Amino acid sequence: MAMLPLIVLLLFVGSLGPDDEALAKLRAYERSRRALITKLAPAVCAVMSLKRPGGGSGVIFSPNGWLLTNYHVTGKNKVMKIGLPDGRMYLADVIGIDPGGDIAVCALRGKGNQPDGTWPFVQLGHSDKLRIGGLTYAMGNPFLLASDFKPTVTIGIVSGIHRYQAGTGPNKRVLSYPDCVQVDAPINPGNSGGPLFDENGLLVGINGRITIRDRGRVNTGVGFAVSIAQIKNFLPGLLAGRHTEHGTLDGNVWKAPDPNTGRGEVVHLQSCLADSILAKAGLKLGDLVTHFNGLRLDWANQLAREVGILPAGYEVTLGYRRYEEQTRSYLPEKTVRLKLARIDTGSKSDAAPNVPDWRERPDFAKLRAAAKKKAATKKKAGAKKSGEPGKKSKRPEKRDLDREEHLFRYMDGLMASFRHKLAKSLSGVAPGKRTVSAKRTSTDGKTSSVVWSVDGAEFVWKDADVERSLSKAEAGSDVRSTLKRELDLNPLLSPSGLPDLLKDAYLEGGVFIGSRVGYVCALRGPGKRAVFLDRDGYFPIGYRFRSFLDEGIREVRFVDFERIDGRMFVKRAEVRINDTPRAVLEFVPADGRVGFVSTEVRNLRMPDAEVEKRITPLMKSVVKVHGASGLKGVPSYGTGLIVSAEGHVLTWKHVSLLKERCRIVFEDGGVHDYVRHREYPKLGITILRPVHELPKNAPIRPLELPSDRKTYAPGTAVLSIGNAFKLAEFTEPLSVTFGVVVSTVRSDLRLNLRHFPFKGDVLIVDAPSNPGTHGGGLFTLDGKLIGLLTPLVESRETNSQLSLAVPSHELAAAVAQATGRKREAIDIAAARDEDRRRVYTGIKLFDTGRRRSPPAYIDRVMPRSPAARAQLRSDDLVVRIDEFPIRTCEDLSRALSEFSPGDTVDVTFKRGSSVSKVKMKLEAVR
Amino acid sequence: MRTLFAALVVAAPLAAQQKKVPELWLLDEVVQQAITKVGPAVVTIETFGGFRKQLGNTRPRPKPDEGDEGDDNKKKSLGPIVMPGFLQAQGPGTGLIIGAEGWVVTSSFVLNYDPQTILVTLQDGRRFTAEVRGEDRSRGLAMLKVKAEELPVAEILPAQSIEVGQWVFALARTFGAKRPTVHVGVVSALRRISGRALQCDANTSPANYGGPLIDIEGRVMGIVSPLSPKGALAGADWYDSGIGFAVTLGDIPEILEGMKAGEVYRKGFLGVSMDQAHLGPGAKIMSITKRSPAQHANFRKGDMVIKVDGVAVKHSMHLQDLIGGHVAGAWVTVVVKRKNGDEVEVLVQLDSPPPPKPPPPKPPPPR
């Protein structure tokens, strides 16, 4: 007996084939993913309200126990119940909320569940590095399935980036997703607030939204995550305990026909309020809006997206051009600086802040003692009055001391983490011998002179060093003395002393310098002193104090950095007094670099671009189709495939194309008028042609439709490309989803309650079809077209919806004919229109004629009929005609309608408890 | 403290070796091999006749074996399988051969019509009539028997070697194709639905209920079944949503044997509802169902359940898991702590839950 396992083992080894190498590699991928999940999962939590049922997910992003979730999960709650994968529940205070962007930050109470008292956490990643087709993992607690709080892990690819999803509520300003990541990893109700990780396990988004079909609130392959890039913009405010506000330009910028010249469509200012920031900055209606923060604007959506991810108060630049009537031309571009106004989300930001006033730290021991004393006296008084002695005080002003004290501890933790990061980045700055000089530029642009230099010491800004250096300075004495006085007044100029200073600091909010978001760490006490840290907290980007010299708030902002050898160096600083720019300090290196700071801590792994490489060329072959449906619930848009060099478009025959004309949008955003060219109703396809000849350089790449009947086995990996839910407009890339071929079968299908037009074998895939994907392409990973996506159909056999594609080889002849490449090509529609006379079998069924058709039991067999010749008898149960399963009498008549007189079919039937098969030759009805 | 911050700073540790072939390509190659291995054990199950069970339309399942009269449980109504709202078709379903002498396991969903005739079709085209032998209502499994010998049997993967993040293929033969259909996903979580099933993100739907969920080497992890924690097989309205369940076969050999012997298992029921505001440890009893095991065991409102079968109860949901993992009729030891601090240990026999009431209007689901 002992030999048996050995033999089995040998057999197994003997069967090692070439595919085992792939298996081993795949196992390696699985192992690394398992390691990744083991590392990440402990930080993924369930977030529940204390009172109401339901809840969502969240993710801890700091060892101090701060977690990110959706605002629509926390709502207006101040405390949430958190379930962690260790199986236990904890409490967390809601710190900051961002209703406009659907984000909330909470802080876990108490000591962490790790052995060293910290919390498990994940790292923030870089959503702007995501690529279409890259693998992502979504984690969370969909449908609150996890009673042990172990998260659900789902996998998918990035279907789209920089998607814009309007918000809800009045003016659609709450819970908007201006720049989100679209993934096909299943995201379901309850996943809200949970993390989206890239393939390296970095947090790239917070899952918060799905687009659903008529089936109800379940995933359909379209999920959205708030990008981490947007969250990082708001994080300083959120961590400071703010109700953060989104910025707005307070004006409508559209792409519409040029109001000045009437030629072409341009992005211009359509409307704005008279007292809006745009009007104040000097813009007028009809001005072209050309640039935003250095980004060229081709579409109005770009602006909405760019503004949507910025907080109110953020300083931005806007480029515009004005039309001049006299010269009938546009003036050269002008750039204005403006501060984004606050968007009106309808919720008051000052109402009941979640956090106490950080400036004064109360003496909690004292307060507690007082409260205890008060409660005791009240208990005495209350005992006389009622049976329930002072148990629940309904007085609203009662302070929750536990919560407050915890929040102060939270702030201490925040500062400790900044201190630690700063100390780390500064420790890398080794003393050395360098010459450094700085020159001062006034804001009018004229450089005055070189003002000071530091010699003989690495620029570490220790007061003593600077003092020593200043004495050696050769520059003008008045500026030097100003600087010296500033140094005297401003203790923050010493970076090595910074970590110590932060001991007594608290986070006030965010600051926006150039394109950089930073934290304002304010010091307690008078003088409004604060130090600004970069958005990861690793290096200072400025400081602020009340200057006694000029009786105002003096702010020094490091506006320009240079990164050399992984270190950040200050190049330029802006001096502001009372928020008005006064001067620019330029740091000019003599033989080295002026430096602060920071060993760059990012260790980026570029995401896998392999899939994207295959997808990018396909985008030139798949186009957006816009027709007109006029019917509620029926999309007026779809997708199409370019099948000829002249620009013929193959698409699904859809109600939106009933009108002769439609518009096709190419990859570059160009809109072209198309007209119906040919229709093949039995294939279910329409071929469109351009009304006007396409320009020579039109960005199209015609697809080849292979005519050989290659079948794709179940399991073949595929990408489906289509415009699901019209998420992509103009230049925006179409949605890409990953799936496999489920099966290639001829099945009983229903499309909008009618028969599915195409009768041959279809490809069933598990990459989801959605409204708008019809007419899109199904491709192998090598970029080969294998099918045309159809609308979502229903299977009569399962009553479930299926995503289908018609194999491309079935369409090849029709396309060749329509595009005129093959004159001799047969007319597929005509060829398929075979003999459709009704067939006769001689079987009389036991059909009651009730609504629900009964099983196909034979009641009687007519003599000398095909059935009689096939030796069928009464009481036999017909279960199959050829490959058509027959469950009801109705099924039988439908199956027979697929055959013509003269065909021979296999009839499978059950007699008693045995099943047999006979051949039956069908006759025509006489 | 210091090491932890270092971990924060040093970024993703996975920068190990740069792999050349992207994962999705490999998947393409491996899946065929796995299908070929399990394919012969995956069968089509067709049903004829019967009535669809729905709320308010319940009737006892006919006896799997004649002459087995004694058991009360079997006479009880089995309750609905599919929640209203999902209209089940009577199309074919899928099953998996787990015994060479004709044992086929499938999802109860496939037999929801109480069919008069059940037909099993093998990959090689052989067809057999089948009869239902046993059921596990708590897992949504049914055991069929066909009169055949030496059938191809699938290899079952031990439950403890399944891990989150593994690729899974959900096979089925519902559409009658020569090769099984396949849906791809990963293991999303283990021990869901009170430890009965694993969760995967492969699309599961009536097109593959009853079929096996296999790993990349073609070993069976479980049987795809429309489960949901709410009860019965309500999960069918979650079909194709990326939330799928497969009843893990590796850890229920006794249940499978019991089903072969004609047992019908139901979910265990204690009859307590919990104070959700109590975070734990322990679970605080809010109310007790009348004539339930909890009432017979003399549990009271305000009691704290601290241990079940020697396992310390973390919170109310944990208690539900511990109880729900048992089938009706099982004996469990429960330790409760009374308000006055006394700890009482009771041996309770679980009952099956009372028939569900029509669902109340839906509360706003979580987002």
Percent above pLDDT 90 for chain B: 44
Tokens of A549: 């010299």
pLDDT in tens, A45-69: 999 988 877 889 999 999 999 999 9
| Residue B290 C-alpha, separation from nearest chain A C-alpha, in angstroms | 24
Return the CATH fold of B159-250.
Thrombin, subunit H (2.40.10)
Average pLDDT of the residues in A175-203: 92
Average pLDDT of the residues in A534-562: 78
| Residue B90 C-alpha, separation from nearest chain A C-alpha, in angstroms | 7
Q: pLDDT at residue A787 above 60?
A: yes
Q: Which of A699, A703, A701 lies closest to A731, judged by CA?
A: A699
Residue-level pLDDT at B167: 94
Average pLDDT of the residues in A513-529: 84
What residue segments make up the domains of chain B, in order of their start? 159-250, 272-350
User: Which pairing describes strands B127-136 and B264-265: parallel, antiparallel, or unpaired?
Assistant: parallel
Report yes or no: B11 at the A interface, CB cutoff 8 Å.
yes
Q: pLDDT at residue A550 above 70?
A: no
Report yes or no: B330 at the A interface, CB cutoff 8 Å.
no
Compute CA A919 distance to the chain's CA centroid, rounded to the nearest angstrom: 57
pTM, two decimals, is 0.85
- Whether omega before A257 lies within 30 degrees of 0, making that bond cis, reads no
- Same fold yes or no, B159-250 and B272-350: no
Q: pLDDT at residue A468 above 50?
A: no
Residues of B in contact with A37 (CB under 8 A): 164-165
Output phi, psi for A587, to 5 deg: -100, 115
Residue-level pLDDT at A103: 94
pLDDT in tens, A303-323: 888 898 999 888 888 999 998
Report yes or no: B92 at the A interface, CB cutoff 8 Å.
yes
What is the biggest distance separating any 2 CA atoms in chain B, rounded to whole angstroms?
72
| Residue A616 C-alpha, separation from nearest chain B C-alpha, in angstroms | 17
User: Which pairing describes strands B244-248 and A505-513: parallel, antiparallel, or unpaired?
Assistant: unpaired
pLDDT band, very low/low/confident/very high, at A90 (cuts 50, 70, 90)? very high
Report yes or no: A28 at the B interface, CB cutoff 8 Å.
yes
pLDDT band, very low/low/confident/very high, at A889 (cuts 50, 70, 90)? confident
pLDDT band, very low/low/confident/very high, at B18 (cuts 50, 70, 90)? very low
pLDDT band, very low/low/confident/very high, at A148 (cuts 50, 70, 90)? confident
Separation CA B197–CA B193 (nearest Å): 6
- Contact residues, A window 173-192, toward B, CB-based 8 Å cutoff: 185-190, 192
Tokens of A746: 């001829």
Q: Are A430 and A405 in contact (CB under 8 A)?
A: no
Side-chain half-sphere of B38: how many Cα atoms within 13 Å? Answer: 36
Output phi, psi for B62, to 5 deg: -60, 150
What is the biggest distance separating any 2 CA atoms in chain A, rounded to whole angstroms?
123
Report yes or no: B54 at the A interface, CB cutoff 8 Å.
no
* Bridge partner residues of A795 (DSSP): A749
Separation CA A67–CA A195 (nearest Å): 10
Cα-Cα end-to-end distance for chain A: 69
Question: Alpha helix locations (H) across A336-476?
Answer: 364-385, 401-427, 463-472
Residues of B in contact with A747 (CB under 8 A): 175
The catalytic site residues of A sit at: 72, 102, 192
Closest chain B residue to the Cα of A15, Cα to Cα: B33
Residues of B in contact with A605 (CB under 8 A): 12, 14-15
pLDDT in tens, B42-75: 999 988 877 665 443 333 444 433 333 333 333 3
Comparing A576 with A519, the larger pLDDT belongs to: A519
Tell me how many residue pairs between chain A and chain B have CB atoms under 8 A apart: 320
- Contact residues, B window 206-245, toward A, CB-based 8 Å cutoff: 206-207, 216-217, 228-229, 237-243
Q: Which of A643, A642, A783 lies closest to A133, judged by CA?
A: A783
Residue-level pLDDT at A353: 61
Comparing B361 with B33, the larger pLDDT belongs to: B33
Nearest CB among A30, A34, A152 relative to B199 is that of A152
Separation CA A607–CA A614 (nearest Å): 15
DSSP A181: E
- Mutate which of B111, B243, B311, B362 to test chain A, going by most A C-beta atoms within 10 A? B243
pLDDT in tens, B336-347: 999 888 999 999
- Contact residues, A window 408-467, toward B, CB-based 8 Å cutoff: 420-421, 424
pLDDT in tens, B104-160: 999 988 888 788 889 999 999 899 999 999 999 888 899 999 999 999 999 999 988
DSSP per residue, A824-843: T---HHHHH----PPEE--E
Average pLDDT of the residues in A483-497: 55
Nearest CB among A23, A87, A200 relative to B216 is that of A23
The answer to which of A557-561, A620-624, A831-835 has the lowest mean pLDDT is A831-835
Comparing A33 with A835, the larger pLDDT belongs to: A33
pLDDT band, very low/low/confident/very high, at A428 (cuts 50, 70, 90)? low
Average pLDDT of the residues in A15-34: 79
Rounded to two decimals, the ipTM of the complex is: 0.83
Q: Are A682 and A758 in contact (CB under 8 A)?
A: yes
pLDDT in tens, B284-337: 999 999 889 999 999 999 999 999 999 999 988 888 888 888 889 999 999 999
pLDDT band, very low/low/confident/very high, at A383 (cuts 50, 70, 90)? low
Report domain B272-350's class.
mainly beta
Separation CA A155–CA B187 (nearest Å): 9
The answer to whether B241 contacts A218, with C-beta atoms less than 8 Å apart, is: yes
Q: pLDDT at residue A436 above 70?
A: no
Residue-level pLDDT at B166: 93
